[in-house]
């Protein structure tokens, strides 16, 4: 393993490049003054002074005196394993709290807005291509004013290819009655007419944990 690879590994332990340079130099040369470290590493002395105490605080290097000269020397690299184990223990200690924060944030509902025919078409394509069961409360009257029978066939083919099913609850209008009577969705669909007094202005789909509202009047979806 060359010096660059060792430096990268030390970076994974939280070393910056300067700390790695100091540490590797001390491992190679043993007891050294700051001037020695600068000479052998190519680092500038002020930079070394800025970072070397941090290595000492982590018990990775030690200080000693020879006469009036301050020398630094490395501890056994096994200290790195101790450092890694300490990091692991701290991570394990805080993990339940981190997991709890993640679970709370990941269960928050995400609201997306879509506008225009093509955006709504993309919703139908995604839903029919990826969902096993598509529950739909819709108005055939409004739907076929925007989308063609060819579009509808494409969406049904997507459901069929995905091994899915369509469950329609259809607004009771002339188009809705015809839709259910003809069994327009084929074998993959089960369609029922809603009661005459049941009316709504916004269509709805339920797929998995997603709830989708579509207003064909305003051409928006949420």
Q: Write down the domain spans for the chain.
A: 3-75, 114-221
3-class DSSP assignment, residue 29: helix
Residue 196: CB atoms within 10 Å:
8
Half-sphere exposure of 80 (CA within 13 A, CB side): 15
Tell me if 112 sits within 8 A of 213, measured CB to CB: no
* 100-156 confidence digits (pLDDT tens): 777 776 666 777 899 999 999 999 999 898 888 999 999 999 999 999 989 988 998
**52 pLDDT tier (thresholds 50, 70, 90):** very high
CATH match for 3-75 among 1.10.150.130, 3.40.718.10, 3.40.50.300, 1.10.10.10: 1.10.10.10
Q: What is the pTM of this model?
A: 0.51
The pLDDT of residue 106:
60
CATH match for 114-221 among 3.30.870.10, 3.40.640.10, 3.40.50.1100, 3.20.20.330: 3.30.870.10
Query: Do the first three CATH levels of 3-75 and 114-221 match, i.e. the same topology?
Result: no
**47 pLDDT tier (thresholds 50, 70, 90):** very high
The pLDDT of residue 105:
67
């Amino acid at each position: 393993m060359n010096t660059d690879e060792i430096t990268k590994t030390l970076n994974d332990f939280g070393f910056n490049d300067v700390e790695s340079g100091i540490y590797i130099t001390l491992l190679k040369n043993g007891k050294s003054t700051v001037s020695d470290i600068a000479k052998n590493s190519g680092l500038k002395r002020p930079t070394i002074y800025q970072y070397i105490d941090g290595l000492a605080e982590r018990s990775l290097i030690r200080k000693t005196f020879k006469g009036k000269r301050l020398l630094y020397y490395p501890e056994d690299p096994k200290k790195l394993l101790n450092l890694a184990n300490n990091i692991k223990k701290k991570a394990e200690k805080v993990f339940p709290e981190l997991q709890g924060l993640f679970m709370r944030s990941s269960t928050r509902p995400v609201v997306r807005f879509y506008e225009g025919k093509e955006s709504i078409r993309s919703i139908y394509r995604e839903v029919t291509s990826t969902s096993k069961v598509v529950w739909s409360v819709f108005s055939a009257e409004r739907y076929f004013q925007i989308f063609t029978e060819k579009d509808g066939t494409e969406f049904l083919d997507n459901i069929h290819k995905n091994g899915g099913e369509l469950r329609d609850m259809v607004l009771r209008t002339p188009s809705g009655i015809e839709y259910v009577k003809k069994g327009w969705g084929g074998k993959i669909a089960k369609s029922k007419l809603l009661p005459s007094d049941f009316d709504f202005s916004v269509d709805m789909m339920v797929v998995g944990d997603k709830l989708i509202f579509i207003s064909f009047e305003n051409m928006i979806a949420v």
